[in-house]
A and B are shown apart, each in its own frame.
Chain A
Amino acid sequence: MKNLWFHLMPYKELPDEFREEHPSVWVNIDSRLFDPERAHVMYNEFMDELEYAAEVGFDGICVNEHHSNGYGMMPSPNLIASTLARRTSDAALCVMGNSLALYNPPVRVAEEFAMLDCISGGRLIAGFPVGSPMDTAFAYGQNPSMLRDRYYEAHDLVMKAWQEEDTFSFNGRFNKLRYVNVWPRPVQKPHPPIWIPGGGSIETWRWCAELDYVYSYLSYFGYKLGLKTMQGFWEEMDKLGKDRNPYRAGFLQFVGVAETHEEALALYKEPAEYFYGRCLHVSPTFVQPPGYTTEATIRARVQSQIVAAATKERSKQHSGGGFGGGATTWEEIVEAGYVIVGTPDEVAERIKEVCTNLNVGNLMLLLQFGNMDHDLTKYNTKLYAEQVLPQVRDLFSEWENRWWPRPMASEARHAPSEVA
């Protein structure tokens, strides 16, 4: 299985009374809480952490895109990925991803991803999220009623731009371009692997199956709730006649490892409570812009208990007024499985169990979360890499992974020169 180290890049110094005194961590978060000089330190530590994860042996490092968001400081994940392309040599660069409908023209995504693939020597995983309502409809003012159609059209444009050798014109519903000719082109042919981050929409599952893309379920609520959604995903794959190759799927999980169980509980309490308390304090007014969720999905959610449960949990995530019955204290967070904590052996056992039960071959690990400091993040990362990774790496080795980057041969790749 593949272990990917995922960074959200949270602002780590939201005040203690953030929930009580501020309306939302997203969209209208108070800019006066942002100290650019502190962010200077945070960004550089975060990039060090991603580079460290690559160095100690994680298969991939992940970045993603958020706007006006206090727990995700990457409006442009491509900027971060470009530095990682230079400072790492073998890890896959998983940009999870660029919200296609936000780029005008979307050719920009084809260009920047191709640049990343060239600079990194073919290590890019290209993530194409629709984007959350907060990011797209509110922070970026996109019409929620047209977002999905724009997304699908932008996808078609980007894919054609990567593969069509001749300059072409594109007469889309939303994009009209006389000359499309992406320069540079990606190293990976016909294109980098495509991963689709999603919630629990059946339409997205079907789309991923049809186009042979990886579906990645990015939930903050752990494996217990994720199980229902992933069962629904695999049942849908069965219906569509697709095999149960675990590399078709990705899953996000928070993990905290320490020498002893007690130590793990003590070390990760504060960052977890910071994340689930302050970082997920999202105003409910930004959760459901009209038209963002299709009528088909609304009907399907009502009819399907599987997806309804996931939806309910997501709405808790963004409830803004507590978790609406979800976990609020550290004990509940651990009990609910939002965070897997324990010794390396305990964590490895749990990871194997989770990945087997959910049948996911791509595990995206949040080993930095909330206000976890740099040293603890490195400790968590190192212990996982040295003592958990060797125990879980061979899981699913019987399956072919057709969704992983195919980089240039290492001897053909150019290493950055030392600065004089």
Chain B
Amino acid sequence: MEERYVSFNGVEARVWEQGEGEPVVFLPGFMGLPKWIPFLDLLAEQRRVIVPSLPGFPGAAGHQQLDELSDWVVATLEILEAATDGPVDLIASSVAAALALEVAATNRPLIKRLVLIGPFGIYDEADPAPDPWAQRPGPKSYPGLLCARPERFEELWSKPDDAEEIEWQIIQIRGREAAARYLWPLGDTGILKRAYRLTQPMLLIRGSEDKLIPASYLEKLKAAVPGEAAIQELAGAGHLVELDEPEALAGSINQFLG
């Protein structure tokens, strides 16, 4: 895996890259990625995988300058443009999927196809999603909320020997804050109003054990877009399917992207 940094408007953002072939971008989900994960290895077996960090998530700063959703969409566009060489397929998980949808609706030529895993961006009072931020303080809440295999989340967030304890904690808090900045309080970006512009082929994936995003939200999205959209539920996975079921997820994606 190679690591580099791209910059825009005074913000530095980490970009990881591995593999060869057609480029595919992966935007990590809730709290971002502090470490490379096995799912990315699987994806990189067939493609050039590019993993940029969005502001405030591990590997990038600058979230506190972004106030409105439009600020976030522009920042995501900047990072995608800087990290890639042109139109790409885009995979985005959880909170990042909300921004992937906005970018795809705003800048159609840049995004060829979309894979969204447990996407945020919608809220339905009739099928309310739980509050991802009203959680008990301390390390115990999130693993079980986000993963069907909590130990995978705990492993992802186990402190490396060379990391300072307080800074490691702050990276986690900051990752939650960054998403809250554009999704507080309900996780609804208003994407359904703009969904008529989503003409790209789209694969919507949800872990069958996802505690955060109700299945009906994927149905709503599918119904709202004019392009082809398929929904796939992956058995045994929680919200962060990339941690819980990397093989099944990579298989579905490879099949979709061809």
Q: Which residues of A contact B (CB under 8 A)?
A: 137-138, 141, 143-146, 173-174, 283-291, 295, 298-299, 302, 315
Contact = CB atoms under 8 A, between A and B. Distances in A.
B120 to A, nearest CB: 14
Nearest to A283: B134
A146 B67 contact: yes
Interface in B128-142: 131, 133-137
Interface secondary structure of B, over-half rule:
helix
27 contacts: A138-B134, A141-B184, A141-B185, A143-B180, A143-B181, A143-B185, A144-B180, A145-B63, A145-B64, A145-B178, A284-B136, A285-B131, A285-B134, A285-B135, A286-B134, A287-B137, A288-B137, A289-B180, A290-B173, A290-B180, A291-B173, A291-B180, A291-B181, A295-B173, A295-B174, A298-B169, A299-B166
Contact of B181 (A141, A146, A174, A288): A146
Contact of B180 (A138, A145, A173, A284): A145
Nearest to A293: B173
Contacts of A291: 173, 177, 180-181
Closest 5 A-B residue pairs measured CB to CB? A291-B177, A290-B176, A290-B177, A285-B134, A143-B184
Contacts of A173: 67
A298 B180 CA distance: 18
Nearest to B131: A285
B133 A299 contact: no
A288 B142 CA distance: 13
A284 B135 CA distance: 7
Given A145-B180, A302-B166, A289 B134 contact: yes
B91 to A, nearest CB: 25
Nearest to A173: B67
B212 to A, nearest CB: 15
Interface secondary structure of A, over-half rule:
loop
B170 interface: yes
Nearest to B167: A299
Interface of B: 63-64, 67, 131, 133-137, 166, 169-170, 173-174, 176-181, 184-185
B136 A298 contact: no
A283 B134 CA distance: 9
A289 B170 contact: no
A299 B168 CA distance: 11
Given A173-B67, A290-B173, A302-B166, A145 B137 contact: no
Nearest to B185: A141
A299 B177 contact: no
Contact of A174 (B63, B67, B173): B67
B170 A295 contact: yes
A289 B178 CA distance: 12
A384 B174 CA distance: 48
* Listed residue (A143, A145, A289) with the most chain B CB atoms within 10 angstroms of its CB: A145
A48 B195 CA distance: 57
A138 B131 CA distance: 10
Given A143-B184, A290-B173, A291-B181, 13 more contacts: A137-B184, A141-B185, A143-B181, A144-B180, A145-B184, A146-B67, A174-B67, A284-B136, A284-B137, A291-B177, A295-B174, A298-B173, A299-B170
Nearest to A302: B166
Contacts of A286: 134
Contacts of B133: 144, 289-290
A284 B181 CA distance: 21
